[in-house]
Amino acid sequence: MATYVLVHGAWHGGWCWKRTTELLRAKGHTVFEPTLPGVGARAHEANAAIGLTSHVNDVIGLIEIEELENVILVGHSYGGMVITGAAERIAPKLATLVYLDAFVPKDGQSLTSILGPERAQQTAGNAGDGWKVPAPPPSYFGVKAQSDIDWITRCCTPQSLLTFMQPVQAKGEWQNVKRKVYIRAEGHPGPTFAPFGEMAKTTPGWDYHAVSCGHEVMIEMPRELADILLKLA
């Protein structure tokens, strides 16, 4: 049986994996879906000092305190920043890294530096009280079903600006994880994640999968996602 740790994207929480975790657990696998500090069920912890490093430390802390080994570590969207930073420090505990329509950063990059100065300025400008970045509407991610739109709208929470601005520390140890997988959501509007998918297609040591839905794969196509993850076990 495999052990999965599923790391959500920006503004989300462990809640977003519900449909996928049910399918993985039904097959007897162990699944953790942590909610990162300051968002989701932990929104009451939110403050301006929570950064990318806070989220990386939280995932590492979970894996270490639960004494997990051979972990299949999955990161969705912004979660790609988090799992890269975590893998840099605990690569021997990981069997597979899965980037689910996610950022794959280089050392010293932040999410906003990947997106460019215009998006960085926009993100900072939208931050309430100077640090609370609000979630975009679900339509931004290509979500179409009204029930999914309503669920995402209810559950998403603002996220600390520092999580988007803080650079990842990834000197290269994370590359030692034996298996790396990229899952591209081909129905996601915009070019943000396409370069990472193309990288995975052409880089030795990477596997590539595509799903025909918007960015919120674990919500829109949980069975298809679970099928891919189950094959990794």
End-to-end CA distance of the chain: 7
List Cβ<8 Å contacts ≥24 apart for 58-62. Answer: 58/34, 59/5, 59/7, 59/34, 59/83, 59/86, 60/86, 60/89, 60/90, 62/5, 62/32, 62/34
Per-residue CA distances from 154 to 91, 133, 138 (Å): 35, 16, 11
> Measured between alpha carbons, how far is 57 from 89 in angstroms, rounded to an integer?
10
Of 54, 77, 110, 160, the catalytic one is 77
Exposure string of 197-225, with b = 16+ CB inside 10 Å and e = fewer, is beebeeeeebbebebebbbbbbbbbbebb
Residue type, 108: G
Residue type, 96: T
Residues 97, 181: contact at Cβ < 8 Å?
yes
Q: State yes or no: is 212 an active-site residue.
A: no
For residue 27 the two structure tokens come to 């097959």
Active site residues: 77
